[in-house]
């Protein structure tokens, strides 16, 4: 789903919060930020935040003063206080940190990303769990990956993935694609049948493909791989968690450069 900046405008700051959130949960040009940490990173990495709601502005502002003083002022300008009864209806599970935001998804051009990358690009092949997608995006942002592309039915901008990434979707390009373009190279597939991981097996321009939690990497990507790499494991262990395996590989690459 190409994240575009061209969706409908949300309306004035005095728009009905419930109608606005209801629309935002369904609008593919918007991202719902559930909680302080998602909102914090969105603001820090330049998101266009359209609105933020709280039942008690002291709670997120206290967190900002303690954890992100640079954001206290912009947050104070954004926050709208809503009655407690309305707050409880704004999200399926109102965040404990007492704040909900709505931001525009930045535009992402997967083809351009493939052409210009200077750091490994992560490809998740049909992942199933939004928490894993979010955790991968968080690690990819921290390690300095070029971006995260996701195939399969799940929207990587789902609010649950944004919670998992703590809003770090805004730190690097993230998009769903139907399939990897045929000339993407070098394609390094992470798979139990590969050669043992070494940093020199991960070039800066690698496309690193990881399989789904249940089925592993699909046969089409396996057939196209320029290299298959495995993370050595103790006998008896079937596999690493998807997000853990992305962390191992990206940090093998990153630590070898420092
Ligand atoms: C939970 S694993 C999938 C396990 C799946 N049952 C299988 O047979 O591949 C999800 C993905 O993480 C990556 N992965 C997990 N452990 C790995 C390892 N030891 N070496 C390489 N990749 C691994 C692979 O890309 C795998 O497809």
Please indicate whether residue 233, judged by its CB atom, sits closer than 6 Å to ligand 1: yes
Probe target for ligand 1 pocket from 211, 228, 243, with the most ligand atoms within 8 Å of CB: 211
Residues 6+ apart with CB under 8 A from 171: 41, 45, 141
What pLDDT does 13 receive? 58
Please indicate whether residue 72, judged by its CB atom, sits closer than 6 Å to ligand 1: no
Return the residue matching tokens 């049948």.
193
Per-residue pLDDT tens digits of the chain, which is 258 residues long: 233 333 334 444 567 999 999 999 999 999 999 999 999 999 999 999 999 999 999 999 999 999 999 999 999 999 999 999 999 999 999 999 999 999 999 999 888 888 888 899 999 999 999 999 999 999 999 999 999 999 999 999 999 999 999 999 999 999 999 999 988 999 999 998 899 999 999 999 999 999 999 999 999 999 999 999 999 999 999 999 999 999 999 999 999 987
In contact, 124 and 208? CB cutoff 8 Å: no
CA–CA gap between residue 16 and residue 13 (Å, rounded): 9
Please indicate whether residue 192, judged by its CB atom, sits closer than 6 Å to ligand 1: yes
What pLDDT does 4 receive? 35
Please indicate whether residue 244, judged by its CB atom, sits closer than 6 Å to ligand 1: no
Distance 124 CA to ligand 1 centre (A): 11
Looking only at the bridges linking them, the beta strands covering 79-81 and 100-104 are: unpaired
Ligand 1 nearest-atom number relative to CA 241: 1
What pLDDT does 117 receive? 84
What pLDDT does 257 receive? 87
Does the pTM of the predicted model rise above 0.75? yes
CA–CA gap between residue 194 and residue 152 (Å, rounded): 24
Catalogue the long-range contacts made by 109-118 (C-beta closer than 8 Å, 24 or more residues apart).
109/2, 110/2, 110/149, 110/173, 110/175, 110/177, 110/181, 111/181, 113/146, 113/147, 113/149, 113/173, 113/175, 114/181, 114/184, 114/207, 117/146, 117/147, 117/205, 118/146, 118/204, 118/205
Q: Kindly list the strands in the beta sheet with 207-210, ordered across the sheet, starting from the edge strand earlier in the chain.
A: 174-176, 147-150, 121-124, 207-210, 187-196, 227-230
CA–CA gap between residue 57 and residue 55 (Å, rounded): 7
Longest dimension (CA), the chain: 60
Where do runs of H (alpha helix) occur along the chain?
17-26, 36-44, 58-67, 72-78, 84-90, 110-116, 130-143, 159-164, 219-224, 242-257
């Amino acid at each position: 789903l190409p994240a575009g900046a061209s969706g409908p405008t949300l309306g004035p700051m005095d728009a009905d919060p419930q109608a606005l959130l209801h629309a935002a949960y369904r609008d593919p040009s918007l991202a719902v930020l559930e909680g302080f940490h998602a909102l914090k990173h969105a603001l820090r990495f330049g998101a266009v935040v359209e609105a933020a709601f709280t039942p008690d502005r002291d709670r997120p502002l206290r967190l900002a003063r303690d954890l992100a003083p640079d954001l206290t002022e912009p947050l104070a300008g954004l926050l709208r206080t809503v009655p407690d009864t309305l707050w409880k209806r704004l999200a399926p599970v109102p965040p404990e940190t007492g704040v909900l935001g709505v931001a525009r998804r930045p535009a992402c051009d997967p083809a351009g990303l493939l052409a210009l990358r200077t750091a490994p690009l992560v490809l998740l092949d049909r992942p199933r769990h939004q928490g894993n997608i979010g955790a991968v995006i968080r690690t990819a942002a921290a390690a300095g990956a070029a971006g995260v592309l996701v195939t399969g039915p799940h929207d990587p901008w789902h609010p649950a993935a944004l919670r998992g990434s703590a809003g770090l979707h805004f730190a690097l390009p993230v998009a769903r694609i139907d399939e990897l373009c045929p000339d993407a190279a070098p394609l390094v597939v992470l798979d139990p049948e590969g050669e043992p991981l070494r940093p020199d097996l991960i070039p800066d321009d690698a496309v690193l493909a990881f399989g789904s939690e249940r089925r592993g990497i699909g046969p089409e990507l396996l057939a196209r791989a320029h290299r298959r790499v495995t993370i050595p494991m103790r006998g008896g262990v079937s596999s690493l968690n998807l997000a853990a395996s992305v962390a191992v590989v990206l940090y093998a690459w990153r630590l070898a450069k420092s």
